[in-house]
Structure 1
Amino acid sequence: MSTRTAEEIRADRTAALGRALTALLAVTAYALAWIVKRSWRRLLPFYWVAAELALAWVSGPLGLSWQTVGIVALAIAATAAGWRARSRTVRAWRAAIAVVLGGYAVATVAAGGPAALAAHPTLTIAVPALLAVVLGWPWWHHLRHLTPPAPAPAPVMTAEPTAVVDPLTAHWQRRWEREVLAAKVCEGTTLIEATEPRPGVTEALVRLTPGTKPGPLFKSGPDVEVALDLNEGAIGWRSTGKRAWLRVVLVERSYIVDGVPWTGPTYAGGRFEMARFADGSPGQWILSRPRYGVLGGLVVGSTGAGKSRALGALIANALDGGVQVAVGDPQNGQSLPAWRDAVDYHPGIEKTALLVRRVHAEIMRRSELLANAGVEAFDENDPRVKALGLSPLIAIVDECQLVLIPNTPIVALAEQAGETMRKTGVGLVFATQLPQMKSLGGSVRLRDALVAGNALILRLSNRGSGTTILPDDFVGDPFALQPEIDGKTTAGMGYLRHSNRVGMLCRVPHLDETAAAAAAPRVPVRWNVPEIDPASPIVLPGHRSPATAAKTGATTGGGSAVDKLRAAFGAGRKSTTTVGEQAPATPAEWVLACLRRGPASAQALLDRPDCPVEQSQLYALLGRLKDAGRITPPAQRGGPFTIAG
C-alpha cells in the first residue's frame, strides 16, 4: 500500500484545477467567438461604444491628449467609410456612428479621461449606450430589409419533370417519329432540337444511339426525302465534331430552283463560293489553305450540265484573288472560248498535253526551290516564298479524257504531279463529261489526288461501262437529275463533295462568261521552267528514258500476264513507278502491290489496264487473299479492299 505526501496531493489538485480553468477558458472563448460571429452585424453600434470607452480609459495611462484621440477617431471614421459593404447606405451609417462616438471619446478625454469616468460611471456609460441605440436604429432597419429570406424547400418530385419544348421542335419530333422512323429510315436516331435559320429551311440536331454509324445516315438522304415528301437533294447532313450528334438540314422551300444569279467574285482567304445550296447557304471551293498549300479538284458533268459555267466561276474567282491560271482546251478553243485572252490559254490536244508536262516540270522545280529554302509547305504569305517570287498557280484541263489516254506516259506524269502539287503551290483541276475512270487514264491514284482537294459533280446522263469516276465516299445521285424539272432547266445543279451539306443539291451561279472574262484582272503566269519541246520523250524523275532502256535490253512487255506485270511495275517501257521497285511475279503480288498504294474495289482493280487476270480469276484471288488474312474485305458490297493489319 503506497502513501502520498501532502505536497503530492496538493500538486495533483492544482493540476486538476488548472485543467478545469483551461477548459473553462476555452469554452468561454469559443462561446464568445460564436456570439461575435452570429451577432457582430447587429451589435456593431455597441462595439463602437466599447471601443470609445476603451479609448477613454487608456488615454490616461498612455498620456494621450484629446487632440491625439481626435486624430485616432478620424482615422477610425475614415476606415468605417471606406470599408467594403453591400451598399453605400451601410458605409454612411457606419461612418456616422464612428464620428459621433469618436467625438464623445474626445469630449470624455478633454473632461478628464479616467477620472471623469470614475466620478460619473453611470452617466458616462449610459450616454454612449443611448447614442448607440439611436444611431443603430437605421442600421438595424437596413439590415432587416436587405437580409434575403430563407429559400423555400424544393418540392418533392414524384416523377420526371416535363421539358418545355418549343412548337417547331415538337412539330419536327412528331414528323421524325411518325414519318421517318416509322418507315424504318434513320433507325437509332432521335431528333432533339429544331431551328429555322430562314423561311422554308429547318436545321435539326439528331442524337445517335450507341452502335449507330454516321456513314449510312449520310447516304439515307433520298429515303428521308421520300418519307417526308421533299424534293430531290433537299436533305443535307452536317458533322458536329461528336460521333453521337449530327445535324440534318431539311429544305421545304428550295432557294436554287429558279437559278442562282452571279454577283461577282467572292474570293477571300483562299476560298470562294462555287455554288449555292438548296437551303440558300454558300458552297465553297477551297483553293488554298494557309501553311498547307494549294488544292486541285475534279469537275464532272454531262453536256449542258453547267460544267463550263462552273469552270468560268473558278477562273473568275482565282483571277480576282491574284492566282495565276493556265487553261488547256483539247477542243481547240471550243470549251472555254471566253477566257482565251484572260488566261494562259493552250488550245488543242498537243498543246494541252504539253501544258500538263510543263505543269509537272514546274511542280518539280518549285519543289526543289522550296526545299532548298527550308519551306515545308507552300504559303504565299511566307517571306521565303515571296523571296523566291512564287505565287499560286492553277492549271485547268477541260475534256481531260482527250489527253489522259490509258497506257500512255502522260497518265503517269499526271499522277506524279497530282500527288506532289499541294506543297509547291500548284493546283491541277481536271474536267470531263464522262463519269468513268478511263477519263483519267484509268488511274485511281490520280482520281484520289484530285478529289482530296475539291470535287463538283454535276448532272450525269449515263453511268457507262467500267468503274465510275465518283469517289467511294461520294454521297448523292447525279444520275437521277433530269435535264428539266417542270419545264425548268437543271443546268448547274450538282453536289459538292467537301461541304457542310453532305448529300444536298447545290447550283453554280448563272455566269455570263464573256462579261466575267472582260471584267477579270489579268494575272500573267510566271513559269520557272521553259516550254516543253514536243519532240522530247516523257521521262519521270528517277526513271530511265526509252533510249536508255533499249540500250540496257529492257523488255517492252508483251501480251502475257507476266509481261503486263513487268510493264506496270517497272520492268518494261510502260513503267510508271520509281526505279528499284520490283515487278510482282504473281497476280497475288500484283493485287497486294495495288492495295499498298491505297484502298481499291474489285472493279477498280479489274479496270486497271495492267490487270493480269480476268474477272472470275480476280474475284477468286481476292477470296483466297481474304481467307489467308492478307487483305480486309469491304464493309459493304462494292467497297474498297485494304491491306490487313
Structure 2
Amino acid sequence: MSTRTASEIRADRAAALGRALTALLAVTAYAVAWLVKRSWRRLLPVYWVAAELAVAWVAGPLGLSWQSVAILALAIAATAAGWRARSRTVRAWRAAIAVVLGGSAVATVAAGGPAALAAHPTLTIALPTLAGVVLGWPWWYHLRQSPPEPEPQPAPTVVDEPAEVADPLTAHWEQRWQTEVVGQGVCTGTTLVKAIEPRPGVTEALVRLSPGTKPGPLFKSGPDVEVALDLNEGAVGWRSTGKTARLRVILVERSHIADGVPWTGPTYANGRLELVRFTDGSPGHWVVSRPGFGVVGGLVVGSIGTGKSRALGALIANLLDGGAQVAVGDPQNGQSLPAWKNVVEYHPGVEATALLGRRVHAEVMRRSQMLADVGVQAFDENDPRVKAIGLRTFIVVIDECQLILIPNTPLVALMEQAAETMRKTGVGLILATQLPQMRSLGGSIRLRDALVAGNALVLRLSNRGSGSTILPDDFVGDPFALEPEIDGKTTAGMGYLRHSNRVGMLCRVPHLDEDAVAAVAPRVPVRWNVPEIDPASPIVLPGHRTPTTAGKTATAITPGGGSAVDRLRAAFGTGRRTTTTVVEQVAPATPADWVLACLRRGPASAQALLDRPDCPVNQSQLYTLLGRLKDAHRINPPAQRGGPFTIAG
C-alpha cells in the first residue's frame, strides 16, 4: 500500500482545481460568445454605452488624458460618417452616436475618470445610458420591420392550343397581329388566339399574355396599335377578362360614331344609364348607384363647343326619368343649361351656386345623421327604412364649377367633405368645367379623386394649360390630340369615358334637342332636409370653431397688479385698460409630414404634389425630400417614371 505525502496531495488537489477552473472558464466563454452571437443585434445600443463607460474607466489606470480620448472619439466619428451605408441619413445617425457618447467619455475623463464615475453616477453613467437608449431607438425600430418577402412568381399558364386554326377570321387576325403589331415591337409578349366580328367593321380579339408581360402597359398601347394596323384615332379599346393572362382588344375598322349618335330616349335602369356610344357601337354607361354601395358622382371636362352641355342634358334627362331629384347650379346666370330652368331646381349666378354647394354639404351631413339613426349603413332607395324617412336619390349638377371653387377658399374644403361623404347618403355631386387644370377644382386633388372614383367623362380639350391637368393619374386616352374636325366632320361630343369596358377607345355623346327633351321630361321636386343657407353666415366645417371664437381676448390689468410691462405702463401714466387679442396658431407641419399626409390621402406623382397650392417647397427641394423618404423606406417609388408615389407598408 502506497502512501502519499501532504505535498503530493496538495499538488493533486491544485491540479484538479485548475482543471475545474479551466473547464468553468471555457463554459463561461462559450456561454458569453453564444449570448453575444444571439443578442448582439438587439443589445447593440447597450454595447455603445458599455464601450463609452469602459473607455472612461480604463483611462485612469492607463493614464490617458482627455485629449487622447477626444482624438479617439473624433476618429471613431469620422469612421462612422465615412463608412458605407444605405443613405446619408444612416451615416449622419452613426456619426451622431459617436459624437454624443464620445463627448460624454471625454467629459468623464476630464473630470477624473473612475473618480468621476463614483462621485457623479447620474451625470457620468445614467445620462450616457439614456442617450444610448434614445439614439438606439431607430436601430430597434429597424429590427421590428420584417424584411420584404419576395413575391411568388406565378406559375406559367398552360393553354391547350388546337393543332390547326379552323376559323379563317382568327387566322387572318393572328397573322396580322404577329407581323404588324408584335413584329413592330408593339404589345411584345402577346399572342392573338381568337377573333370574332360582333358588328360589321368591328373585331373583338382574345389576346394571351406570356409570363412576365404586365397588362397595365397594354391598356395604354392603343395609339401604337392604331399606328401599326393603320386604324383611325381612338379605334382600339381594351377590357379585362378576369384572368391576368388574357385580355380582350376591340379593333374598329369602320367607326359607328363618325356621323354622330342619335338620341333615342332615356335609358336609366338599375342605377346606370347609357350616356355615350363607343366607336364600335357599344354603349358606355354612367353609373349613378350600385347595390350596397350608395350613390356616386362624377366629373365632366370639355373645352368650349365639345358637347359638355349636351352630356349634362343627357344626364339630367335620364336622372329625371329614373325618379331622381336634380338640382342645377349655373354660375353663368342661366347661360349654361337654359333648357332646364323650369324643369329642375335651378340656381343661376355665382352667389346662388355657392349657396347651393353649402346647402348640399349641410344636406349630406343631415342625411348621414338620419340614416344612422335608423341603422342604414349605405343608401338604398328600395330599403324600407330609407322610404320610411322619405329620402330619395338626389343629384346636384354644377356647371362651370371653376367660377365658385377658388383655390384656398373655405368653399373648396366644404365641397371636399361633401364629395367624400355623400356616397352613403344618397347624394351625388357632378361637376363640369371647360378648363383642364386642377385649379378648376380649387386645386383639390381630394375633390378630384372623390369624383372620378365614380365617373369621369373627358371630352376634347384644346389647351393643356399650366400646372397639373385635371385628368386622373391612371387615365388612358389623349383628349388633347382630338381635332375640332376630322375630314370635315365635327368631333363635338367625342371623348373618353373612364371606368368602361373599352379602355382607351373614343366615345360620343348622343345629339339631343335639349329644349324638346326638357319639355317632355318628368318634374321631380327636390325635398330638402335642411333650410336655406343665410348668405351672411360664415362657412364652418363640422368639428371646427366659428371665426368669432377663433381667438381669445385678454384684458390687461390696471395699475397695482399684472405683469412688469403693465406696471411700467402705469408708472408712465398709460395704465388705461387695454384689450389684447391672442390668436391661436397651429405650427405648420414639416415638409416631410406634409408629403406623407398627402400620400395618405392617395397616391400622387411628384408633379401633382408640386402643383398643390399648399406645397411648402420648390421643385428641387421636393425631389430631394422624396428621395430621402424613399431611402428611409417611408414611401414607395413609382413603378414608372412620372408615376405616383405611395405610402410604404
Q: Compared with structure 1, are the counterparts of its residues 584 and 600 closer, same or farther at alpha carbon in structure 2 (3 Å cutoff)?
A: farther
* Structure 1 segment 401-412 matched on structure 2, within 5 A: 401-412=402-413
Cα distance in 2 for partners of 1:643, 1:161 equals 46
Q: Say which one has the larger Rg.
A: 1
Cα distance in 1 for partners of 2:369, 2:233 equals 48
Deviations 1:108-152 (A, max 9, x none): xxxxxxxxxxxxxxxxxxxxxxxxxxxxxxxxxxxxxxxxxxxxx
Q: Compared with structure 1, are the counterparts of its residues 172 and 365 closer, same or farther at alpha carbon in structure 2 (3 Å cutoff)?
A: same
Deviation for aligned residue 1:572: 8.8
Partner of 1:399: 400
- Which of 592, 603, 609 is matched with 1:588 structurally? 592
Partner of 2:630: 626
Counterpart check, 1:642 vs 2:646: yes
Deviations 1:610-642 (A, max 9, x none): 111111111111111112211111111221111
The residue type equivalent to 1:193 in the other structure is: K
Deviation for aligned residue 1:357: 0.4
Moved over 6 A (4+): none
Cα distance in 2 for partners of 1:310, 1:211 equals 41
Deviations 1:178-218 (A, max 9, x none): 10001100001010000000100000000011111111000
Where 2:407 maps in the other structure, the secondary structure is coil
- More off after superposition, 470-479 vs 627-636: 627-636
Deviation for aligned residue 1:322: 0.4
Q: Compared with structure 1, are the counterparts of its residues 161 and 263 closer, same or farther at alpha carbon in structure 2 (3 Å cutoff)?
A: closer
Counterpart check, 1:228 vs 2:229: yes
The residue type equivalent to 1:219 in the other structure is: K
Is there any run of 5+ residues in structure 1 with no aligned partner, and where? 1-159, 554-570, 576-581
Counterpart check, 1:419 vs 2:420: yes
The residue type equivalent to 2:468 in the other structure is: T
Partner of 1:217: 218
Cα distance in 1 for partners of 2:458, 2:217 equals 20
Where 2:550 maps in the other structure, the secondary structure is helix
Partner of 2:351: 350
Is there any run of 5+ residues in structure 2 with no aligned partner, and where? 1-160, 555-581
Where 1:621 maps in the other structure, the secondary structure is helix
Deviation for aligned residue 1:403: 0.5
Cα distance in 2 for partners of 1:357, 1:224 equals 47
Counterpart check, 1:461 vs 2:465: no
Deviation for aligned residue 1:601: 1.2
The residue type equivalent to 1:538 in the other structure is: I
Counterpart check, 1:611 vs 2:625: no
RMSD over aligned CA atoms reads 1.5
Where 1:551 maps in the other structure, the secondary structure is strand
Cα distance in 2 for partners of 1:196, 1:457 equals 28
Counterpart check, 1:315 vs 2:319: no
Partner of 2:264: 263
Where 1:313 maps in the other structure, the secondary structure is helix
Cα distance in 2 for partners of 1:271, 1:583 equals 47
Cα distance in 2 for partners of 1:182, 1:409 equals 56
* Structure 1 segment 99-248 matched on structure 2, within 5 A: 162-248=163-249
- Which of 596, 602, 606 is matched with 2:606 structurally? 602
Cα distance in 2 for partners of 1:190, 1:286 equals 33
Partner of 1:75: none
Deviation for aligned residue 1:290: 2.0
Deviation for aligned residue 1:585: 3.4
Cα distance in 2 for partners of 1:425, 1:229 equals 46
Deviation for aligned residue 1:544: 1.1
Deviation for aligned residue 1:583: 5.6
Partner of 1:482: 483
Partner of 2:510: 509
Partner of 1:47: none
**Aligned partners of 2:414 and 2:541 also within 8 Å:** yes
* Structure 1 segment 315-394 matched on structure 2, within 5 A: 315-394=316-395
Partner of 2:548: 547
Cα distance in 2 for partners of 1:370, 1:413 equals 21
- More off after superposition, 541-550 vs 342-351: 541-550
The residue type equivalent to 1:418 in the other structure is: A
Aligned-residue sequence identity (percent) comes to 82
Cα distance in 2 for partners of 1:321, 1:161 equals 49
Where 2:598 maps in the other structure, the secondary structure is helix
Q: Compared with structure 1, are the counterparts of its residues 174 and 611 closer, same or farther at alpha carbon in structure 2 (3 Å cutoff)?
A: same
Deviations 1:333-384 (A, max 9, x none): 0100010001000000010000000000000000000001000000000000
Where 2:551 maps in the other structure, the secondary structure is helix
Deviation for aligned residue 1:552: 7.1
The residue type equivalent to 1:221 in the other structure is: G
Cα distance in 2 for partners of 1:552, 1:204 equals 73
Cα distance in 2 for partners of 1:263, 1:161 equals 44
Q: Compared with structure 1, are the counterparts of its residues 169 and 369 closer, same or farther at alpha carbon in structure 2 (3 Å cutoff)?
A: same
Cα distance in 2 for partners of 1:605, 1:516 equals 43
Deviation for aligned residue 1:407: 0.3
Where 1:291 maps in the other structure, the secondary structure is coil
Partner of 2:145: none
Deviation for aligned residue 1:550: 2.6
Deviation for aligned residue 1:539: 0.5
Cα distance in 1 for partners of 2:529, 2:612 equals 34
Where 1:357 maps in the other structure, the secondary structure is helix
Cα distance in 1 for partners of 2:361, 2:406 equals 17
Cα distance in 2 for partners of 1:321, 1:572 equals 51
Partner of 2:130: none
Q: Compared with structure 1, are the counterparts of its residues 552 and 517 closer, same or farther at alpha carbon in structure 2 (3 Å cutoff)?
A: farther
Q: Compared with structure 1, are the counterparts of its residues 228 and 392 closer, same or farther at alpha carbon in structure 2 (3 Å cutoff)?
A: same
Deviations 1:370-424 (A, max 9, x none): 0010000000000000001000000000000000000000000000000000000
Counterpart check, 1:497 vs 2:498: yes
The residue type equivalent to 2:336 in the other structure is: S
Partner of 1:38: none
**Aligned partners of 2:267 and 2:273 also within 8 Å:** yes
Cα distance in 1 for partners of 2:463, 2:587 equals 37
Where 2:205 maps in the other structure, the secondary structure is strand
